[in-house]
């Protein structure tokens, strides 16, 4: 089962004086053929030596900032946790209910 992970930026918090983005709120979605899972987070960003004008920012730039700030290890952990959710959906290891309930057809 091939999983596609998609990172996106929901919103940015910035200083209005110079456009410095200090917080990015992001989502990560994981999709396989029949299942999906998602995560949300936010991360503070360090002020860089030189700023990209706010109007010139793209989602790809900010997603890279988020991944860099999280570190490669944390990005892998997030994607692994989402993969585990997909695996659990595909082959559940836990269930709820009572054995005496009639099976629903």
Domain hosting 69: range is 4-90
Contact 26, 42 (CB under 8 A): yes
Give this prediction's pTM: 0.88
Report the domain count for the chain: 1
CA-based nearest residue to 7, from 53, 75, 102: 75
The 10s digit of each residue's pLDDT in 66-87 is 999 999 999 999 999 999 999 9
Residue 45 lies in a domain: yes
Report d(CA 28, CA 95) in Å as an integer.
26
Written as six digits, the tokens of 21 are: 């983005």
The 10s digit of each residue's pLDDT in 47-60 is 999 999 999 999 99
Residue 98 lies in a domain: no
Residue 103 lies in a domain: no
Q: How far is CA 85 from the centre of its chain?
A: 13
Report d(CA 44, CA 83) in Å as an integer.
25
Residue 66 lies in a domain: yes
Residue 23 lies in a domain: yes
Residue 104 lies in a domain: no
């Amino acid at each position: 089962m091939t999983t596609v992970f998609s990172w996106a930026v929901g919103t940015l918090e910035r200083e209005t004086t110079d456009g410095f983005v200090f917080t990015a709120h992001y989502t990560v979605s994981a999709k396989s053929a029949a299942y999906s899972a998602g995560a949300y987070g936010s991360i503070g960003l360090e002020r860089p030596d030189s700023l990209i004008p706010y109007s010139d920012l793209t989602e790809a730039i900010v997603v890279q900032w988020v991944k860099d700030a999280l570190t490669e290890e944390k990005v892998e952990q997030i994607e692994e946790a989402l993969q585990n959710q997909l695996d659990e959906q595909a082959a559940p290891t836990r269930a709820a209910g009572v054995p005496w309930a009639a099976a629903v057809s």
